[in-house]
Structure 1
Amino acid sequence: MSFSDTELAVVRTAAEREGMASAAWAGRQVMAVAQHVLVPVSRDAGDVLRELVQARVHLRETVAALRSLTVTGPSGAGLPESAATVVEETLKAVARLDAATVAVMRERRPRS
């Protein structure tokens, strides 16, 4: 299997969340789809998922940039408390995007 950088970031995050190696997590998901335990998402949901993944990666990059400012800051003293609050709110936004991404990934077709 091959993944784009964005897709690999999602796989790594999911694997870390479950305490697994990325390859083991991906293998488990592939087997779940093959055994019809997990059904791939619809095309529309896939578009939403891609958008969520892109937003998630952008937010993580933003957090990394903000954290580097809190360490080095323009005067070497870090950022004021208000900036630390922005970092925390951004981390909460990343967590919400993670949850939304997982929800879309787990979409299932009705079984009849």
Structure 2
Amino acid sequence: MNLSFNDAELEVVRLAAGREGMSPASWAGRQVMAVAQHVLVPVSRDAGDVLRELVQARVHLRETVAALRAVAAAGPSGAGLPESAATVVEETLKAVARVDAATVQVMRERRPRS
């Protein structure tokens, strides 16, 4: 069986597998079996879209935070620093807002699994 992921999805799989000390392929196989055995219930398409938005927002947020750290490390010696810092802070705030909105949406749509 072949599985295909975009870069953001693959990063999530790698992180999840790493947390459990597994290879990404082993972790994905275990998840597929859990769904097949009705131990793990897949989310709706709408919830999946929201989760994908969360994944994309988290990736963007990590990149933005790295840029913010680079600006902060440059110190006040850069001539365009205030404008650069303002741009990076604005991007960080947008990313945080996207993550917050997606998280609230997931929480609203979450149903108990019995």
Q: CA, structure 1 residues 108+39, in 2 after alignment: closer, same or farther (shift >3 Å)?
A: farther
**Count, aligned residues:** 92
In 2: Cα distance, 1:67 partner to 1:55 partner: 18
Q: Do residues 7 (structure 1) and 14 (structure 2) align?
A: no
In 2: Cα distance, 1:36 partner to 1:44 partner: 20
In 2: Cα distance, 1:7 partner to 1:29 partner: 14
Does the CA contact (< 8 Å) of 1:39 and 1:109 recur in 2? Answer: no
1:30 positional shift:
0.7
1:47 positional shift:
1.4
Q: Which residue of 2 aligns with 1:39?
A: 41
Matches within 5 A, 1:42-57: 42-57=44-59
Superposed CA RMSD in Å reads: 3.3
Query: Greater helix share, 1 or 2?
Result: 2
Q: CA, structure 1 residues 27+108, in 2 after alignment: closer, same or farther (shift >3 Å)?
A: farther
1:14 positional shift:
1.0
Identity %: 72
Does the CA contact (< 8 Å) of 1:7 and 1:53 recur in 2? Answer: yes
Higher CA-based Rg? 2
In 2: Cα distance, 1:19 partner to 1:70 partner: 34
**Which whole-Å deviations, capped at 9, do the CAs of 1:44-96 have from their partners, x for residues lacking one?**
21111011111111111123323444556575xxxxxxx9xx9xxx9xx7xx8
| Bigger relative CO (Cα 8 Å, ≥ 6 apart) | 1
Which blocks of at least 5 consecutive residues in structure 2 are unaligned? 78-84
Which blocks of at least 5 consecutive residues in structure 1 are unaligned? 76-82
